[in-house]
Amino acid sequence: MRKLDPSGSILITGGGGFIGGWMVHEAIKRGFSSIRSVDIKPFDEWYQVHAGAENLIGDLRNPDDCRKAVHGINYVINLAADMGGMGYIEAHRARCMISVLINTNLLCAAKEAGAVRFFYASSACVYNVAKQRDADVTPLKEEDAYPAMPEDGYGWEKLFSERMCRHFREDFGVQTRVARYHNVYGPHGTWFGGREKAPAALCRKVAEAKLSGKHEIEIWGDGGQTRTFMYIDDCVFGTLMLTASDFADPVNIGSAELVTLNQLVDTLESIAGITLRRKYILDAPKGVRGRSSDNTLIQKAFGWEPKISLQEGLEKTYRWIYDQVVAGSQLPKVAKA
């Protein structure tokens, strides 16, 4: 399997965020000698700060900041976006769509700089919502993004940016690669404050219930919504594999292990060793009824798909979030490497 040359320089945008922090960690592990990590947040809000990288604060909605970020770079891994869980993206559609400036300006900068590869992190939110109205959902194939009817706001931004990548490749020769992530979770990510996604939010709620002795949990919706959840290690591996390859079309990177939210809570109860009374908030943001990743294409192209089980991934994620709750953290202390 082809790999990126560690003697080349790599830019990871959103490097202070969840996926970005782990991507920098992996780039260091793979021996990249020149790693640049850029995020809009101040350093004390980064989830991981790595001494083995050049860490910069920049607003990549600004073309000048994009040029500075991409200068001298061979590989661009664009993970930067204004996003969060369903509660956040449904309440901030315009803010999510403004992220189109990040990818557009980065593509222009990459074209000018002659970058060798450009990876764009898209999302399963690009898929036609009409195909996701049943909990017993048919797994989504890549072609199911069209005819277009994505999640309003965030999904449209992702789908538009995918097309931008395609046309920069066709018109300007920028070697773009696009992955559609399906619900990435793991330690060192957002777990409170409104931007957290379902696994992190439920880990926090279970930890709080255990520590408080009030064995009750609120669940958005009726708990019958179905999803697949991908552990961060699989996400990072699949991203770098795709970026190094000659495969140019968008591809799913997601687990095929479909569960309901109730089953997700069942697993967390088992991990925490408690049983919780469940209070269902039926008028809370719920997103689509069912969503699952069809991995036929990635298996055919790469002989690989995400492999880490939900049980294994949740055990690691719950332990980390439990420790944050015990410590009374309002923001996790940055991990340094």
How far is it, in rounded angstroms, from Cα 50 to Cα 284? Answer: 37
Rounded CA-CA distance 258/181 in Å is: 15
**Do 154 and 172 form a contact (C-beta atoms < 8 A)?**
no
DSSP state of 290: B
What is the rounded radius of gyration, in angstroms, for the C-alpha atoms of the chain? 19
Are 89 and 129 within 8 A, CB to CB? no
Asked if residues 131 and 140 have their Cβ atoms less than 8 Å apart, the reply is: yes
Q: Are 73 and 31 in contact (CB under 8 A)?
A: no
Q: Hey, how many other C-beta atoms are within 10 angstroms of the C-beta on 241?
A: 21
Active site residues: 154
